[in-house]
Amino acid sequence: MSTENHFDYTGSKIGMWLFLFTEIILFGGLFLVYAVYRYTYPHEFHEAGEHLQVSLGFANTLILLTSSLTAALAVSSLQRDRKYASLWYISGTVALAAVFLINKFLEWSSHISAGMYPGAPALLAKGHGENLFYGLYYVMTGLHGVHVLGGAGALSLVYVWILQGKVDKDRYVALENAVLFWHLVDLVWIYLFPLFYLLI
């Protein structure tokens, strides 16, 4: 209404950063739970972690890091008024997000077919620590997966806005904010990867 046309670049950025704080704390709650149980069951967490495939996790790490690069290039392209380059970089980022999720899906499927999911007899036969490890694995990578979806959705929305001319070289804050969110998604994974795959 009154301020529909009001535009404040710094204000938008402040809002986005504040939102990112909330996301960090949201995941922070889970990292806290992880820390408590890792401390309680160090050996069982070690055992369980060895069954995850480092190669798949590593591939996903590379995919997300590359997608952060393409996302950043999308912003700088748009700032230099290279609209179509920017659109291509956004498409690339979204495509990498899809590859990440497919990879994650295959990984989850293989765990589930091996009977490693909450409540499964094979998992219940193992110790408490293993059960918690896999429980946290699904919850944390699952919540992260939801954020990958959300980030890809946000980038796709900005893609449409660029096509419609609502976002351009003078008003690129929407793209910048979507990419900031994407970097956060990447950053969370950077912590998830060692916690589940490497720290064994």
Element housing 29 (H / E): helix 9-40
159 touching other proteins, by CB under 8 A:
no
Among 115, 118, 153, 194, binds other proteins (CB under 8 A): 118
C-alpha angle with apex 9: 7 to 10, nearest 5 degrees? 125
Segment 49-55 long-range contacts (CB within 8 Å, at least 24 positions apart): 49/133, 49/196, 49/197, 49/199, 49/200, 50/200, 51/116, 52/137, 52/196, 52/197, 53/107, 53/197, 54/197, 54/198
First to last CA, the chain: 56
181 touching other proteins, by CB under 8 A:
no
128 touching other proteins, by CB under 8 A:
yes
In the bound state with other proteins, the residue whose beta carbon lies nearer, of 51 and 128, is: 128
Q: How many residues bind other proteins (CB under 8 A)?
A: 40
Could you tell me which stretch among 99-107, 108-116, 131-139, 181-189 binds other proteins (CB under 8 A)?
131-139
Among 129, 144, 148, 152, binds other proteins (CB under 8 A): 129
Block residue for tokens 């219940």: 124
Q: Which of residues 20-39 bind other proteins (CB under 8 A)?
A: 21-23, 25-30, 32-33, 36-37
Question: If you compute the radius of gyration of the chain from its CA atoms, what whole number of angstroms results?
Answer: 19
Is residue 172 helix, strand or coil? Answer: coil
Could you tell me which stretch among 103-111, 117-125, 162-170, 171-179 binds other proteins (CB under 8 A)?
117-125
In the bound state with other proteins, the residue whose beta carbon lies nearer, of 16 and 99, is: 16
What is d(CA 153, CA 5) in angstroms, rounded to the nearest whole number? 25
Residue 127 phi/psi, 5° resolution? -75, 170
> Closest distance between other proteins and the C-beta of residue 112, in Å?
12
45 touching other proteins, by CB under 8 A:
no
Q: Which residues bind other proteins (CB under 8 A)?
A: 1-4, 6, 8, 10-11, 14-15, 18-19, 21-23, 25-30, 32-33, 36-37, 40-41, 118-119, 124, 127-129, 131-132, 135-136, 138-139, 143
